[in-house]
Amino acid sequence: MEGSPLAVLVGTLAALLSIGSFAPQIIKTWRERDASAVSLRMYVVTVTGFGCWLTYGLMIQAWPVIASNLACLVMSGAMLALKLRFGRAG
């Protein structure tokens, strides 16, 4: 069921902001090669949550849920990988 144009706009904006919210931390961590201040537990939970949302979207065949959570899973997974790679300073 397609929502109203306003609902689609709000949903699209929410998805873009959620996806983009990971970019500043990823860029900072990559440039500094330091993820010591990043919480490993938080990113493990975040990646797991997006994985669950993606699975849910696939189960109900809802492409907006699938697309947005797949993108968030990739971004949060990238940050988790950076945490594992650069977790300790120096």
pLDDT, tens digit (0-9, with 9 covering 90-100), for 28-37: 999 999 999 9
38: DSSP letter:
S
pLDDT, tens digit (0-9, with 9 covering 90-100), for 50-89: 999 999 999 999 999 999 999 999 999 999 999 999 997 5
Side chain identity at residue 59, one-letter code: M
- CATH number of this structure's domain 5-86: 1.20.1280.290
**pLDDT for the residue 89:** 56
Q: For the chain, which residues make up each domain, given as ranges?
A: 5-86
Place of tokens 């790679």: 85
pLDDT exceeds 70 at position 25? yes
Cα 6 from Cα 14, distance rounded (Å)? 12
pLDDT exceeds 70 at position 46? yes
Place of tokens 């983009």: 20
Cα 90 from Cα 83, distance rounded (Å)? 14
pLDDT exceeds 70 at position 2? no
